[in-house]
Structure 1
Amino acid sequence: MKITKLFTLSLIGSFLLHSCSSDDDNNIAEPTPPESAAYTNGVFVVNEGSQSTGTVSFLDAASTSIENNIFETVNPEMDLGKFVQSMFFDEDNAYIIANGSNLITVVDRYTFEYKGQVDSGLNIPYYGVVYDGKAYVTNLADFSTGTDDFIAVIDLTSLEVEETVVAGTYLDFVDEEDGVIYVEGASFGTGNAVHAFDPATNSITKTYTTVEGVNSFEIEGEQLFALSSSQLQVFNLDSGEETYHIDFPEEVNSARNLVFENDMFYFTSGLAVYGLAETATTFPEESLFEFTDVITLYAFDVEDGFIWTGDAKDYASAGTVRIYNNSGELENEFEVGVNPNSFYFID
């Protein structure tokens, strides 16, 4: 999903693609939806927008039809704000982050009816996660430095920011695992850490030191896997120590978008897709395939054996979502909003 330190830096963000999916991260567990719910089984597509406001599209479970601008359809005369970066979920609610408007919009996750907003205490919010009735949202603040990046702790009953925790380091993607919140300590190619944040004390309790420019990570079992442009590092989750790493060949120098699915790691380098077994210790001999019809790879994910891409094209026109099989054959494609940057699978 695609980095959006926008305002005057929109094009910089467009070149820094970030995947935030794993086997579970973007698979949203389903409570029992109401019978009238329209969005219970399928895929949400977040469209970042550009000079226009961001939007959300919904693709049905069979991947046969797309509905664009679902928030505006359900809530006429309202919009989500500028530069919609990401979504996160909790029970019956979905929270949609618009970092250009310093806004988090709360909707019913099944009907997309508006329920409220977090509209104060934020400064370029980016990614969020819910734990024990609170949301933990990374904020980028001043683009020129990471020293003022902070985590906003939000009470989900009042929708008020009750505390801000300045980390003193770059912050980006956030995930929760077994009551610990893991935060990528890098942004826009700068930074060399993944941090473990304890919600009981609202403090960073452990740091996994990576090479410079870590851009995505996954947690599987007792290990943390961190991807930079030319290396995959594996850390012991408890000790924080690196156990091994895989160096990439010289020609693979722009690796991004680490995704774990069905005992395999996937990532991209340019328009090439690579696959690694979970237990692999060496780089694969060749890529799985290369995208030939994607102009600007802005979103990447893997789900149920299919590879999903969001093509931002010229960053101003309607984007395209394409679905491929593992051999790189195109299964289907759909026109969506401007700058499709992430997918959230509902099943």
Structure 2
Amino acid sequence: MNVNKLILMALTLGLVVTSCSSDDDSSTPVVPLGDYENGILISHEGNFGQGNASVSYVSFDLQTVENNIFSLVNSAPIGDTAQSIAFNDNLAYIVLNVSNSIEIVNRYTFESVATINTGLNNPRFIAFANGKGYVTNWGDGSVATDDYLAIIDVASNTLDAQTIAVEEGPEEIVSNGTALYVAHQGGFSQNNIVSVVDASTNAVTSTITVGDVPNSLQLDDSGMLWVLSGGSPAFTGSETGGKLSKINTADNSITSIDFAMTEHPNLLVLDNGMLYYYLAGSVFKMDDDATVLPTTAELSGLSFYGMTVRNATLYGADAVDFASDGELEIYDLGSNSLVDSVTLDIIPSGIYFN
């Protein structure tokens, strides 16, 4: 082999090695967003009036469980009665019902970003639209005329001076980006409507009559709003059964399926075209195009205070006796079998995928 060929081979090999090295060097490592990404956040109400609300983190593989993460990160208690959590970009908004406040944290590190502790009165849930956060407030739960939506400017995480007056007992709220839908359970009483709010004008444009005491809302990809109503309980003296309603948000037309008078379902969840709900210690499943209710439960013998489903896996929060540590139970809905359970803090309720 002559010298020229040897030189050419050496140069070629050098180019190949340099090319491979450059490719390796240019790869960008994945930087973790924080200790609490890729897992599940669980809000805990804690004991009423005792200021021991908390949030737990459970990794998706269930190998890591950390309770009371707000206090661990911020060296301070979070407040009284964590009612719900909602995400907006990298922030988590934790609504504290009895504290009349909202703690805003980085959802991945749980470092405190801001606290809103004025302008709220019995806050419950929050949804986002048009650069604003909308918080349902009961006001005095025994007064029918002081209920409202508080409005948060998410750029500054401060409350707007404006509020939106609504009918009694606003509870869960969802958004499709342009409109907000508010379920009115009725505060300490009973109500039977869903309010529709235009996010561009902050005005209530209509109210839709559903079943008594609507407790759950789900929006599907086709623009249908699913509303599960529990019905008026027996202690009211005028018991009514639950109702599952489907509202076409294009024209607010509605179709419904009735439960029996003594059946009071809650915890409606939508996953991959299937609806799940909780009734009397059991979980039922039905297609979203079904016209009758299922007669056979998927799971029974349960005691859930909160529930969600993701990719045919059910996550249920068991508050046990409402004084001891609660449990997160995980079920495979393919086999309807318990996968695992983990111990949490006191009164777990909301389950959120982070």
Bin for the TM-score computed over the shorter chain? 0.7 to 0.9
Deviation for aligned residue 1:33: 8.9
1-structure distance, mates of 2:150, 2:74: 27
Report the CA distance shift for 1:33/1:250 in structure 2 as closer, same or farther (over 3 A).
farther
Give ranges in structure 1 of 5+ residues lacking alignment. 1-31
Q: Which of these residues, 215, 231, 243, is aligned with residue 243 of structure 2?
A: 231
Contact 1:103–1:117, Cα closer than 8 Å, also in 2: yes
Question: In 1, Cα distance between the equivalents of 2:42 and 2:30?
Answer: 20
CA deviation digits over 1:174-210, x for unaligned, max 9?
1110311111122457111111111211111122211
Partners of 1:181 and 1:36 lie apart in 2 by 30
Residue 264 (structure 2) aligned to one of 232, 254, 278: 254
Q: How has the CA–CA distance of structure 1 residues 322 and 328 changed in structure 2, closer, same or farther, with 3 Å as cutoff? A: same
- Say what the alpha-carbon RMSD is for the aligned residues: 1.9
- 1: CA distance, partners of 2:266 / 2:297: 14
- Paired amino acid for 1:300: M
Matching of residue 147 in structure 1 with residue 159 in structure 2: no
Aligned pairs, how many?
Answer: 309
Structure 2 CA distance, aligned partners of 1:58 and 1:224?
Answer: 30
Displacement after TM superposition at 1:311 (Å)? 1.0
Structure (1 or 2) with the greater helix fraction:
2
> Could you tell me which residue of structure 2 aligns to residue 66 of structure 1?
65
Aligned 8 A contact 2:174 2:217 in 1? no
Please give the secondary structure, in 1, of the residue aligned with 2:305: strand
Identity between Structure 1 and Structure 2 (%): 31
Q: Which entry has the higher C-alpha Rg, 1 or 2?
A: 2
| Partner in structure 2 of residue 172 of structure 1 | 171
SS at match of 1:211: coil
Matches within 5 A, 1:150-165: 150-162=148-160, 163-165=162-164
1:41 counterpart (21, 38, 41) = 38
User: Which of residues 73, 85, 88 is equivalent to 2:86?
Assistant: 88
| 8 Å CA contact 2:328, 2:344 repeated in 1 | yes
Q: Tell me what 1:336 maps to.
A: 344
Structure 1 residue 88 displacement after superposition: 1.2
Asked if structure 1 preserves the Cα contact closer than 8 Å seen for 2:173 and 2:217, the reply is no
1:127-172 CA-to-partner distances (Å, cap 9, x unmatched) read 1112233211111110103321110011123332212111133201
Q: Which residue of 2 aligns with 1:218?
A: 218
- Report deviation, 1:337: 0.9
2:296 maps to 286
SS of the residue 1:72 aligns to:
helix
Residue 231 of structure 1, CA deviation: 2.0
Higher relative contact order (CA 8 A, sep 6+): 1
1:318 paired to 2:325:
yes
TM-score normalised by the chain length of structure 1: 0.84
- Decide which of 126, 132, 148 is 2:130's aligned counterpart: 132
Q: What CA distance in whole angstroms lies between the structure 2 residues aligned with 1:33 and 1:250?
A: 54
Task: For residue 52 of structure 1, report the CA deviation from its aligned partner.
Answer: 4.2
Q: Retained in 2: the 8 A contact 1:170–1:191? A: yes
